[in-house]
């Protein structure tokens, strides 16, 4: 494992970013040894149907609105510029070369564990990188969770999801307290998720 400034990489579509994402990122920055959390916004996968996924730049804008005043956080659009579909190993290799003074740690929910062996070059990921795994509802640990690359952190269980928010907005519900204020205003102004 590398040593350097510990930077947590929080990958996601953030469609939209919500207070649950910010709670997890804040937990990692305050209750673990991570110095900074980068929100890595995942691009639209050309092999999948859009299913209500907003354009990349809108999701990045919402992340920036959510974290702009917090020095613990930054956003990254690195995967927008990489070949599609983007693979975690490729993104990490690129970031590690570009920022040699940082030790990148992946932040992920426990729901990745059952299918982690299907990730591209998953064994290499376990050799080179540390994963901080936070609890997810209904996710059981498995034999992989005993691997030293995985550190299970006792973060609060967050069951709020972006799909819950999208569905609520579609049904005309007021979800302002589920989202950072500026993100809620942006969604309302742009009429996102209403249909």
Please give the Cα distance from 156 to 24 (Å, whole number): 8
Q: Does residue 183 have a pLDDT over 80? A: yes
1 token code pair: 């494992």
> Residue 142 has what pLDDT?
67
Average per-residue pLDDT for the chain? 92
What gap in Å lies between CA 21 and CA 72, rounded to an integer? 14
**Domain boundaries, given as residue ranges, for the chain:** 5-160
The CATH fold assigned to 5-160 is: Rossmann fold (3.40.50)
pLDDT the model gives residue 138: 75
The confidence band for 2, taking pLDDT boundaries of 50, 70 and 90, is low
SS (H, E, C) 98-109: HCCCEEEEEEEE
| Residue 166: predicted pLDDT | 96
**pLDDT of 70 above 90:** yes
CA neighbor of 191 nearest in space, from 54, 88, 38, 36: 54
β-pairing, 102-109 vs 130-134, is parallel
Task: Give the pTM.
Answer: 0.93
Q: How confident is the model at residue 173 (pLDDT cuts 50, 70, 90)?
A: very high
Average pLDDT over residues 162-183: 97
Q: Name 137's Cβ contacts closer than 8 Å, sequence gap at least 6.
A: 157, 159
Residues 74-97 have pLDDT tens digits of 999 999 999 888 899 999 999 999
pLDDT at 24 over 80: yes
CB 94 within 8 A of CB 120: no
Is the CB of residue 10 less than 8 Å from the CB of residue 104? no
Residue 50 has what pLDDT? 62
* Alpha carbons 180 and 115: distance in angstroms, whole number: 31
pLDDT per residue as tens digits for the range 46-65: 556 666 799 999 999 999 99
Query: What is the rounded distance in angstroms from the CA atom of residue 3 to the CA atom of residue 115?
Result: 28
Give mean pLDDT, residues 117-136.
94
Identify the band that residue 141 occupies on the pLDDT scale cut at 50, 70 and 90.
low
Share of the chain above pLDDT 70, in %: 92
């Amino acid at each position: 494992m590398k040593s350097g400034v510990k930077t947590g990489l929080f990958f996601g579509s953030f469609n939209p970013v919500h207070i649950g994402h910010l709670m997890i990122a804040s937990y990692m920055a305050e209750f673990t040894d991570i110095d900074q959390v980068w929100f890595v916004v995942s691009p639209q996968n050309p092999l999948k149907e859009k299913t209500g996924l907003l354009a990349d730049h809108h999701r990045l804008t919402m992340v920036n609105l959510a974290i702009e005043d917090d020095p613990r956080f930054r956003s990254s659009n690195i995967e927008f510029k990489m070949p599609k579909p983007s693979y975690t190993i490729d993104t990490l290799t690129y970031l590690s070369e570009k920022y040699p003074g940082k030790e990148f740690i992946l932040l992920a929910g426990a729901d990745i564990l059952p299918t982690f062996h299907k990730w591209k070059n998953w064994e290499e990921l376990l050799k080179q990188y540390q994963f901080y795994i936070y609890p997810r509802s209904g996710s059981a640990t498995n034999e992989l969770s005993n691997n030293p690359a995985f550190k299970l952190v006792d973060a609060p269980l967050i069951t709020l999801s972006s799909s819950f928010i999208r569905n609520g907005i579609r049904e005309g519900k007021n979800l302002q307290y589920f989202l950072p204020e500026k993100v809620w205003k942006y969604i309302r102004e742009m009429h996102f998720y209403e249909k």
